[in-house]
């Protein structure tokens, strides 16, 4: 597996998302051919925790899926030419068979993994997993499309 050191600005250069809607803090590992592992720290002051669910906050499943889609978008973006500022965005098309097995809570670090399964033209399908330590939080498949010219 190829592991590189990535400056945090690389994430901002590839992803169009910004706080409070960027759910990737760090790239942990990257294999140029098909895999990426990233992470996001779930700080207690993240805006969604205040209302989901008060007194027992958990990260909404749809936001876990969004974090996985952003991680897959990073993988697709890193596979492009290296001209990060000129990358076209990737759009989230669909999720399939996403299963939520455990909640993610404030103070945890969510580990996000995406593996490229198949690509055709500007369409990409990924197998994705989110975990906290050894506990699987969610897994499934999702598809992204490259922004057209």
How far apart are alpha carbons 9 and 3 in whole angstroms?
17
Q: Which residues are catalytic?
A: 52
Spans in the chain with pLDDT lower than 70: 1-5, 81-88
Alpha helices in the chain, H assignment, sequence order: 9-14, 61-79
DSSP 147: P
Give me the pLDDT at residue 149, please: 73
pLDDT tens column, 63-90 = 999 999 999 999 998 887 555 545 668 9
Element (H, E) at 14: helix 9-14
State the burial class of residue 99 (Cβ atoms within 10 Å of its Cβ: 0-12, 13-18, 19+).
Answer: exposed
Domains of the chain and any CATH numbers: 9-146 (3.10.129.10)
pLDDT of the residue at 2: 55
- In this predicted structure, what is the pLDDT of residue 81? 52
């Amino acid at each position: 597996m190829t592991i590189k050191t990535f400056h945090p600005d690389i994430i901002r250069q590839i992803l169009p998302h910004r706080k409070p809607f960027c759910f990737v803090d760090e790239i942990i590992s990257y294999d140029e051919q098909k895999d990426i592992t990233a992470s996001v720290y779930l700080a207690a002051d993240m805006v969604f925790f205040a209302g989901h669910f008060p007194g027992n906050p958990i990260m909404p499943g749809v936001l876990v899926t969004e974090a996985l889609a952003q991680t897959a978008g990073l993988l697709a973006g890193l596979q492009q030419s290296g001209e990060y500022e000129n990358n076209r965005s990737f759009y989230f098309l669909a999720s399939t068979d996403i299963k939520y097995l455990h909640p993610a809570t404030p103070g945890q670090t969510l580990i996000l993994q995406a593996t490229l399964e198949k690509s055709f033209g500007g369409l990409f399908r990924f197998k994705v997993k989110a975990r906290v330590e050894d506990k699987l939080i969610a897994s499934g498949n999702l598809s992204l499309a490259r922004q057209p010219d």
